[in-house]
Amino acid sequence: MRVHTARIPAEVLAVRPRDAYYARQRRIFALAFVLVAVVPLLALHQNASSFYQDSWLEKTSLELAGMARDRRELVDLFLRSQETALATIVELHGPAELTTERLEALFRAMNGSTGSSVITDLGVVDRRGDHLAYVGPFRRELAARNYAGAEWFAEVMRAGRYVSDVFPGYRQVPHLVVAVADARREWVLRATVDSAFFNGLVATANVGPGGDAFIVNRRGELQTSSRAGHDRISPEELARLAALADSGRRSAAGGGSLHAAAWANGGNWLLVLETDVDASLAAYHRARRRNALLIAAAAAAVVLVAVLVTRSMVNRLARAERQRQALTDRVREVEKMALVGRLAASVSHEINNPLQIISEHAALVDELLDDAPAPGAAVDELRRSVRKIRDQVRRATAITRRLLGFARAPEADRARVDVSRAVEETIALLEAEAARHRIAIVRDYQPDLAPVVTDATQLQQVFLNVLANAIDAIGEGGEIRVSTRGDGPSLWVQFLDSGPGLSADARERIFDPFFTTKARGKGTGLGLYVSHAITERLGGDLTAANRPEGGCAFTVRLPAGADAGALAAPAVAARALDSSGAVKESHG
């Protein structure tokens, strides 16, 4: 025969700790919980933030574009009003009428009664470019000047009306000129607009902190002051802004800013409004930070709840598995005990046969000795030996009979039972075990105790379980006092041991199934549970209590003088015996 062997690594056979498994399950469940709850929350926050940012930028773009149109119209309206005022004067007056006195009156009328200097000066210039009349603060600088070579003079003589760019001119002060010529181009009425007032038309645009508003001509030269301090802009930037104005789009982003542009002054100027994106989104960023804090708090709460819930859930699963495993172990013990019972029954049955043969042969030897011819000392010794053999056979037969009685399934087999004798027979089974542990069993039977009608086999099973528990509780060296008493309709059997007694938890659960105080593998937790059920089925009850002097007292109460099956439940009040044999009341 060929034998094959294999080597199995120790780590394969090693029992993996379940604590690590459940710790991993807690982490997995908590992570899944967090992912399911927090990730959608973060995604929602991100999508909402992007949506609201785009909406905010769209709103700012619309407002900026509308503001650019309004400022463009304001500038064009101002320039047209100045042109119209000059054109009206040209139509109503000739150059000869516009003397210095008359021109001063018109100058005051154009600036209005408030005295605001919108118009810096007025001048009448002939076709050769010489001043015919002048009103203003620059008489000394401009009176003798000839404008025949000036760009603005050439344009107004050509087109009849002209608004110049801002330039320093002879006075070396930035200004712009509004000029109107008569129909025959014989003379020109020229007005100089105050640059500060003109700047104010644009600078008052509400473009927010970090924003800018200015007018630039087609050469990139700024016609109004810039908040950023620019004098001109690059051709590339000018082309981009011009394309924005030409396309009619609301605004465009560039360099962290939003821009809106519109052509003014007949397309000669480009009005540009610029707002800083970060400044425009300041309120949005504040709201977003608040929302982020709220979401962080919510996420932390979700994580905390996930950890607590998963820990509780996994702990319950672990506890349920431990209980299931304990129940499985106890059921296995019960099956083992059942198997032991069947084995005991089988062994008892097999032992009975040779015992019967030994008894028969002992009787035969006894008969042969009766026929002995000369009785003597040897014959008498043989007779004594035969009697001892027959006594020990009867004792062994009684023991096997009791084992058979304990092993078979309970059934209704009621008869009149001497309780003291039933207790004594049970003690005989365990007395040797008690002696090995130096435990003394003291009897205290009432001599005139009346028999009861009950099932002796099941009753002895109760006594056996209680005595076995008392021996296990004492351990080594002690005493068990067994007393029987009867009083009226009830009879008591009390077992008093000198063990450590019962804890508070054990007193409450002592008769629960599978509850045991013994070391693992030494008890199934079913003995007292089954005993309690048997006594109730026999019409009595089984109680347990701690003794004042130490140890535990188990009391079996039975109905006396009646069929136990006729009693449906134990009485509420019962009597128990103390260690001295006196009767006391016990409720339970």
Q: What is the pLDDT of residues 540-573, one digit of tens each?
A: 899 999 988 888 999 999 987 644 444 333 333 3
| Between 400 and 32, the higher pLDDT residue | 32
Tally Cβ neighbours within 10 Å of residue 343.
11
Tell whether the model's pLDDT for residue 585 goes beyond 60.
Answer: no
Q: What is the pLDDT of residues 423-447, one digit of tens each?
A: 998 898 888 888 999 999 999 998 8
Q: Quick one: pLDDT at residue 7?
A: 62
Q: Quick one: pLDDT at residue 482?
A: 93
Q: Quick one: pLDDT at residue 250?
A: 60
**Six token digits for residue 523:** 């008890």
Mean pLDDT over 114-131 rounds to 81
Contacts of 2 (CB under 8 A, 6+ apart): none
Under the banding of pLDDT at 50, 70 and 90, the label for residue 524 is: low
| Between 276 and 570, the higher pLDDT residue | 276
Q: Quick one: pLDDT at residue 445?
A: 92
Tell whether the model's pLDDT for residue 356 goes beyond 60.
Answer: yes
- Rounded to the nearest 10°, the torsion over CA 361, 367, 368, 372 is 150
* Contact status, residue 369 vs residue 382, Cβ threshold 8 Å: yes
**What is this structure's pTM?**
0.49
In eight-state DSSP terms, residue 175 is B
Mean pLDDT over 335-342 rounds to 70
- Residue 486 and residue 489: Cα distance in Å, rounded? 8
Q: What is the pLDDT of residues 375-422, one digit of tens each?
A: 667 777 777 788 778 777 877 776 676 666 555 545 556 788 889 998
Q: What is the pLDDT of residues 360-371, one digit of tens each?
A: 777 777 777 777
Under the banding of pLDDT at 50, 70 and 90, the label for residue 520 is: low
Q: What percent of the chain has pLDDT over 90?
A: 9
In eight-state DSSP terms, residue 132 is E
Show the domains of the chain with their CATH numbers: 93-198 (3.30.450.20), 409-587 (3.30.565.10)
* Contact status, residue 479 vs residue 442, Cβ threshold 8 Å: yes
* Contact status, residue 263 vs residue 231, Cβ threshold 8 Å: no
Q: Quick one: pLDDT at residue 483?
A: 93
Q: Quick one: pLDDT at residue 285?
A: 80
Q: Side chain identity at 216, as an amino acid letter?
A: V
Length of the chain: 588
- Residue 448 and residue 560: Cα distance in Å, rounded? 13
Under the banding of pLDDT at 50, 70 and 90, the label for residue 575 is: very low
Q: What is the pLDDT of residues 188-208, one digit of tens each?
A: 999 988 878 778 888 888 887
Q: Quick one: pLDDT at residue 116?
A: 58
* Contact status, residue 261 vs residue 241, Cβ threshold 8 Å: yes
Q: What is the pLDDT of residues 70-116, one digit of tens each?
A: 888 988 898 898 889 899 988 888 888 888 888 888 888 888 744 55
Average pLDDT, the chain: 79
